[in-house]
Amino acid sequence: MRRILLFGALIGVAWGTQTFSGDQVLRAEPCNDEQVDLLKQLEAREPLRLDFWHFPSYPNHPVDIQVPFAYLQSVKVFLESHHVKYSVLIEDVQAKVDEESREMELNQRHERSRSSFNFAAYHPLESIFQAMDDIVAHYPQLVSKVQIGESYEKRPLNVLKFSTGGTNRPAIWIDAGIHAREWVTQATALWTANQIACDYGHDPVLTSVLDAMDIFLLPVANPDGYVFSHTKNRMWRKTRSKVPGSSCIGVDPNRNWDAGFGGPGASSNPCSDSYHGPSANSEAEVRSIVEFIKSHGNVKAFISIHSYSQLMMYPYGYQCNNPKDSKELDEVVKAATNALASLYGTKYKVGPICSVIYQASGGSIDWSYDYGIKYSFAFELRDTGRHGFLLPANQIIPTAEETWLALKTTMDYVRGHPY
């Protein structure tokens, strides 16, 4: 029976949009190392097709798992038999996906009738690109578009450059959406781009930053994956590159950087969501960013925006030793998240990746820090698991607004502490 169910599911994926009817997201709470190891064993059972929204890491760190309906009972029995405490975060994943789709369709009709862009909604890639072009058109003396490369499927990697003039000025890099399904990150980045353009000359903190530095913002770092998450599989995380010798598609682009590549927290299995790829920088998307940063030569901050968990982190992920600048970096993230919390009271945890979330090798901010960019940070935006990757669109603007306060605090600190 399991083989029949699995075959049917695979046929559905091959010929249409993947559905998640009856799938649930469970939160397991391992209380000791043995239970963490049991969850890692569960993760390795490929026939179950479990999707780990939060990977197993340490005792008392929650593990969020999307479980297909066909295996729901088996997984629950497994957890109960090993005395692993769990709860249900999402009762029916497909119901939430359907609700999200209905909201997007309604918004698209409203946008067409009003000829306006709604930053409080999720959008397909072409709408994001059009909104970026509109920002450039409205603020041509401040904003320009730079294509830094192409994705595996030849989509442009479009960056917005905010500059008040000058050549090779110190710069701040911000990217979002490196994991395709984290839709609130692309939406937040686009809102942020518009905010930067609108606020220059009005907000004294932002104005002082842009009078001294350029900002480069990549709202969709994984365009192929993002398109696939809209058209075929809402829960798609990876790139869409073909893996030699495997029928499985894609690489985790945040395990593909040349920073402890292939180490703990990254998988050598091409079918895994955390597959590190055949080699460091094998992915066109990662390689393009690396080449841009290197060719620019004067990037002073590297900020990557993810979701979810409400965290602001600094290196390292590939090792559990603190970087030499950890004291200063800790002060920055505490100041930034205090500013963030001042708006809606949203609480963030802060610290190095390895201790705050889990050990993960081949990550972007580890690479940027080791390359010499001292101010390297990663955000995990809302929420803490109630909605996870399916954050309702009505939380986009509050998420973006509070994140903007953290970004401004960080950028202002970078401006005031040249190195």
Measured distance CA(137)–CA(143) in Å, rounded = 8
Closest C-alpha to 342, from 396, 405, 409:
405
Structure tokens that stand for 127 in this block: 């709408």
Quickly count: other Cβ atoms within 10 Å of residue 368's Cβ.
27
Catalytic residue flag (residue 380): yes
Structure tokens that stand for 144 in this block: 């320009």
350 close to 330: Cβ distance less than 8 angstroms: yes
Measured distance CA(219)–CA(276) in Å, rounded = 22
Q: At what angle do helices 125-138 and 183-199 cross, to 10 degrees?
A: 10
Strand pairing category for 85-90 and 24-29: antiparallel
Name 244's Cβ contacts closer than 8 Å, sequence gap at least 6.
278
Catalytic residue among 29, 380, 401, 402: 380
Measured distance CA(281)–CA(268) in Å, rounded = 15
Name 234's Cβ contacts closer than 8 Å, sequence gap at least 6.
18, 20, 97, 100, 181, 390
Task: Give the residue numbers marked as catalytic.
Answer: 380
